[in-house]
Amino acid sequence: MYHRTILLSILLLTAVAVGAQTPVNVPFDKVHITDGQRLKTALAAMKKGDDLAAKGGVDNPAAMTAYEVAFAINPDNAELNFRMGVCLLNGPHPAGAVARLQRAAELDPYLPRVHFLLGHALQLNARWEEAIASFERHAEVIRRTPDPDRTYNMVGKRITECRNGRTLQAAPTRAVVAGLGPAINTPGSEYGALLGAMDDLYFTARRPETTGGRVNKVNNTWFEDIYVSNMGATGWTGPRPAPGQLNSNSNDATVSMDKDGGRMIIYRDEKNGGDLYESTVVGGKWSAPVPLPATVNSPAQESSAWRTDDGQWLYFVSSREGGLGGSDIYRSPWDSGLGTWGQAENLGPDINTIYDEEGVFAPGDGSTIYFASQGHNSMGGYDLFKSSQRDGRWTKPENLGWPINSPGDDQFLVLAADGRSGFFSSMRPGGQGEDDIYRVDFPAEASVAEPALLASAGTAVPIVEDEKRMRLVAFVKGLKLMDHTEAIVQLKSLDEPLLNITIQPDPASGSYIAEVPVGRPFAIHVQADGFLLHSEHVDEHVGENQLEMSLTPSTKGNSEVMRNIFFKHDNHALDEASTVELQTLADYLKANPGLRLEVGGHTDSDVGPIPNQKLSEARAQVVVNWLVEHGISPDRLEAKGYGDSQPVVPNDSPEHKALNRRTEIRVL
């Protein structure tokens, strides 16, 4: 039913030289790579990467791995950096493409489309001014040499989106957004959350265990299935396929659910490019879905729908002929005499644009609707909007603002009955990968002096008003000197995956303030282009915690301590709390494919059952093994144990010994 908006075709173009080549652009040839075997290996890896990238989807990570082989041999080739950037843009973490595309543009500023794609990557990172500059550079190019692809001629729209984003981010809403964490979200796609009876959460996902085990030939991704999870005492339970007959060998996706949780509309693509079906709960299982009538389903695709609570209207999305854009929002009245839905009407230009609309949600009597649109004042991709009907017309759609909306796709918002919380889907930095499901809370009005948790960007954790809090006042040192590089800060609970906050510090001062609930330890990770992953550990306590964090350039020899990798006492077995840090490190390495790291193990001076040198070597190797098992090439990692030979403080107290027991990463 839904796949992420891909405005980027897989471009595997040979760069066209215009004028003299930039001297630093190193070709893959015998002159510049004299070792014949290395050249052969690199060219074969690039060919393999191209073939896999052309397929995209499930083959995208393997394409990136192949490109990394060639990159290790020659990191200064513009075309290779470009291909890697495009591969990242089409992968699960597109915001990570900036470094590769920037390098490609530096090495060869005449590469076709490089400035457009760099602008897109910068836009995904909310680096509005830089994105506008890159789009304007592309505009200069296509004025001289028009691009045959319509996508790359839509520079004006992209610049407008960046200006919209700049305005909306400068005045964030009071909404609080939190990812549902790895219990629900995976490196694949999750979206279309619906809250059913008994706190059941139904959603759509593309996973290898999909019914029939098939991959869609069109986009090379797993077919969609419908899953369900339950809220338990410790959070969401492991998702399982929805019971009954909702899932088939086709794409099956959640669309909407009635207020009692006993009737669901789903999407299935058995014919007509995809239609809407209805299913009911019978004996705890969902019945075989029945297609909606021809007044709703058409020879075109119908992808989304919502029945009003009073049952009088069905709002739905269709790409049928006669619309204003690719997909428009329609509504059909309930004909009680015929017992079916009547003729559909287009909601008109107040709602629909020349671009696509999607994911309509119409609570109550449908007089107020929420929907996603690529038009209006979107800041990029789909944004979420709200409109109400007054005097027979729809009001101007209101952008729900930052941080609900992001530069990527934000869709499928549904709210609880009280309108104070809900779920939506988004693809943004800090997620698990691809589309993730997020919870949004709209806190009651609070005074400026005592705000609820307000993270300046990304995601945040909802806090109960009388809950004890820990206030973090932090400063990322050197941020103003980063030549416009902006840092992203993530606060992650080590024992509760729902508590995952992403913050963008003030780029002028490097400072940020956040409040998190007390009762658990947190990891703090700071990332910025060109710098090593920075790690901090914050123990649970009430009150204010002040931190100063200095970022280290990711140049050879520089190192950082990973402060949230823990081992069992006198052992090399990883503590479960280490998973948060290890996964963050793995994601960082995937976003920086040219980086090679040494993982160093260090101990205190105490003598235990395992000699310190052996213990440190084993611990370093365990970390390397974990990273390799989670997708990092072993060629990029080295394990080394230092025992107690390099203490950072004297081993004269339990606190100092704890500081000396550490895992470091160092750039090779």
* Domain ranges (residues) in the chain: 36-170, 176-441, 447-553, 565-668
Q: Is 46 exposed, middle or buried (0-12, 13-18, 19+ CB in 10 A)?
A: buried
Average pLDDT score over the chain? 86
d(CA 137, CA 472): 40
End-to-end CA distance of the chain: give it in Å, rounded: 45
- pLDDT for 232 equals 76
- pLDDT for 470 equals 60
- pLDDT for 15 equals 34
Residue 481 has pLDDT above 50, yes or no: no
The answer to whether 316 and 302 have CB atoms below 8 angstroms apart is yes
Q: 226-235, 310-319, 462-471: which has the minimum mean pLDDT?
A: 462-471
Q: Please, what CATH class does the domain formed by 176-441 belong to?
A: mainly beta
Q: Please choose, from the candidates 409, 401, 397, 379, the residue with its C-alpha nearest in 3D space to the C-alpha of residue 160.
A: 379
Write the DSSP symbol of residue 245: S
Q: 282-291, 353-362, 463-472: which has the minimum mean pLDDT?
A: 463-472
Residue in the block written with tokens 């107290």 = 653
Confidence of residue 446 (pLDDT cuts 50, 70, 90): very low
Q: How far is CA 137 from CA 15, 134, 271, 511, 659, in A?
A: 17, 5, 44, 32, 49
d(CA 10, CA 149): 13
The answer to whether 637 and 620 have CB atoms below 8 angstroms apart is no
- pLDDT for 512 equals 62
Q: Please choose, from the candidates 264, 11, 44, the residue with its C-alpha nearest in 3D space to the C-alpha of residue 114.
A: 11
- pLDDT for 487 equals 74
The answer to whether 661 and 608 have CB atoms below 8 angstroms apart is no
Confidence of residue 603 (pLDDT cuts 50, 70, 90): very high
pLDDT digit string (tens) for 404-431?
Answer: 999 999 999 999 888 888 999 999 887 8
Q: Is 536 exposed, middle or buried (0-12, 13-18, 19+ CB in 10 A)?
A: buried
Count of residues making up the chain: 668
Residue 168 has pLDDT above 50, yes or no: yes
Q: What pairing do the DSSP bridges indicate for beta strands 543-550 and 469-477?
A: parallel
- pLDDT for 16 equals 35
Q: 119-123, 142-146, 288-292, 494-498: which has the minimum mean pLDDT?
A: 494-498
Confidence of residue 171 (pLDDT cuts 50, 70, 90): confident
What's the CATH architecture for 36-170?
Alpha Horseshoe (1.25)
Residue 113 has pLDDT above 60, yes or no: yes
Average confidence (pLDDT) over 84-104:
93
Residue 187 has pLDDT above 70, yes or no: yes
Write the DSSP symbol of residue 22: P
Q: Please, what CATH class does the domain formed by 447-553 belong to?
A: mainly beta
- pLDDT for 4 equals 45
The CATH number of the domain covering residues in 565-668: 3.30.1330.60
pLDDT digit string (tens) for 300-332?
Answer: 999 999 999 999 999 999 999 999 989 999 999
Residue 345: strand, helix, or coil: strand
- pLDDT for 9 equals 38
Percentage with pLDDT > 70 across the chain: 85
- pLDDT for 5 equals 40
pLDDT digit string (tens) for 349-404?
Answer: 999 999 999 999 999 999 999 999 999 999 999 999 999 999 889 999 999 999 99
Residue 65 has pLDDT above 90, yes or no: yes
Q: 51-55, 210-214, 287-291: which has the minimum mean pLDDT?
A: 210-214
